[in-house]
Amino acid sequence: MDADVFIEPIGRLMNEFSKLPGVGGKTAQRYAYRIIDMSESEAKAFADAILAAKRKVRFCKVCGNFTEEEVCSVCRTRDKSIVCVVKEPKDVIALEKIREFRGVYHVLHGVLDPMNGKSPDDIRVGELLARIKEGGVKEVIMATDTDVTGEATAMYIANLLKPLGITVTRIARGVPIGSELEYADEVTLTRALLERKEM
Amino acid sequence: MDADVFIEPIGRLMNEFSKLPGVGGKTAQRYAYRIIDMSESEAKAFADAILAAKRKVRFCKVCGNFTEEEVCSVCRTRDKSIVCVVKEPKDVIALEKIREFRGVYHVLHGVLDPMNGKSPDDIRVGELLARIKEGGVKEVIMATDTDVTGEATAMYIANLLKPLGITVTRIARGVPIGSELEYADEVTLTRALLERKEM
């Protein structure tokens, strides 16, 4: 990054920006210059937003999603009989955007990944079990990713939940809508064939 | 950006990040989540770096480049007989990285661009003339971009400087080193042919 060609406050700011995902030296430089171009009050608003996000955002004590309160607005207002289990808060955002699901969520904050030392104790599985045992839940939708760790986690949790007498479902896996069959990968295509539905 | 699916502090931080060049909603979201993942002290260091950059960075009163002092370290320590004129501070960084130029700079903070209302009064042309008139400058290298406004600005300034009895030069324009002739654009190739040099 040739840090010595930058004066200290700029080099330092570039260093901070390069901590953001996918930001390299050149991008960090462009961002830093944009900050210097800002007015004093704009820069202050930016810095304040960072501090506020860090200070105000916490995890809902029920579902584990981001919230400003103790319990998030989804948990407070929605149908608690259907719980959708996801890996991360950003998955909640993705699902909320489609405005289709009216139940509540459970954010695991990770998936089982023995290769990287992630065991059931490292994700919010215990909290999910406790929630189910409180009663009132009819269905749990496993909406973890469809990759290896996501599938394994869905399977693991499903096996824990089934004995509790609730319905456990998995999001459908198949050929994405609007895509050409020719370009679907083999695993997806195999799955799409095996799980074909009568029309 | 479906801002309503984000809680306020996250939406607000995403909004700030999306003010950075080239940052859209999805990237702003990734950045915001990274901030929330940070420790309190990391987030504070980030916010502080923004404020410090804005507060400490000013323009060298001689050359107009970024500095923390009144006069930048380049102006204080280098050969003042050669002045390299550039559009923006980032051009100084680009030139400093090659460690070839030992003279000083003059940052115009823009180029002439009548279509967008940028006249000589809007860029640091007057300051350059004043600098030259103080004496001691033997050569001015016009290192503005090689696009239309950069060329026009170089030409305009060269015409102002030549009557002052100093050498005015322009950076060489031609086929970039290491590139295949086949891929050079026509204007560059024409220029490279016209300005061919004896070997």
**Subunit contact A33:B89, Cβ cutoff 8 A:** yes
How close B193 gets to chain A, by Cα (Å)? 32
Predicted pLDDT at A24 = 95
Query: How would you write the pLDDT of chain B (199 residues) with one tens digit per residue?
Result: 455 789 999 999 999 999 999 999 999 999 999 999 999 999 999 999 999 999 999 999 999 999 999 999 999 999 999 999 999 998 999 888 888 889 999 999 999 998 999 999 999 999 999 999 999 999 999 999 988 999 999 999 999 999 999 999 988 888 888 878 778 888 888 888 888 877 7
B interface mutation test: which of A50, A99, A107 has the most B CBs within 10 A? A50
Residue B176, chain A, CB below 8 Å: the answer is no
Q: Which residue in the block uniquely carries the two structure tokens 């500095």?
A: B67
Indicate the pTM of the whole model: 0.79
Separation between Cα atoms, residue A90 and residue B199, nearest integer Å: 61
Separation between Cα atoms, residue A115 and residue A128, nearest integer Å: 23
Predicted pLDDT at B183 = 80
Exposed/middle/buried for residue A86 (C-beta within 10 Å: 0-12, 13-18, 19+): buried
pLDDT tier at A188, thresholds 50, 70, 90: confident
Predicted pLDDT at A1 = 46
- pLDDT per position as a tens digit, A35-77: 999 999 999 999 999 999 999 999 999 999 999 999 999 999 9
**Subunit contact A19:B10, Cβ cutoff 8 A:** no
Give the DSSP letter of residue A70.
Answer: S
- pLDDT per position as a tens digit, A87-121: 999 999 988 888 888 999 999 999 999 899 999 99
A interface mutation test: which of B6, B54, B98 has the most A CBs within 10 A? B54
Asked whether the beta carbons of B17 and A22 are under 8 A apart, the reply is: no
ipTM of this complex prediction, to 2 decimal places: 0.78
Strands A139-142 and B167-170: unpaired
Asked whether the beta carbons of A95 and A106 are under 8 A apart, the reply is: no
Q: Which residue in the block uniquely carries the two structure tokens 């030259």?
A: B132
**Subunit contact A49:B89, Cβ cutoff 8 A:** no
Residue B3, chain A, CB below 8 Å: the answer is no
Residue A197, chain B, CB below 8 Å: the answer is no
pLDDT tier at A2, thresholds 50, 70, 90: low
Asked whether the beta carbons of A81 and A103 are under 8 A apart, the reply is: yes
Predicted pLDDT at B161 = 93
pLDDT tier at A3, thresholds 50, 70, 90: low
Residue A177: count of CB within 10 angstroms of its CB? 5
Predicted pLDDT at B2 = 54
Predicted pLDDT at B176 = 86
- pLDDT per position as a tens digit, B147-177: 899 999 999 999 999 999 999 998 888 888 8
pLDDT tier at A153, thresholds 50, 70, 90: very high
Predicted pLDDT at B1 = 46
pLDDT tier at A136, thresholds 50, 70, 90: very high
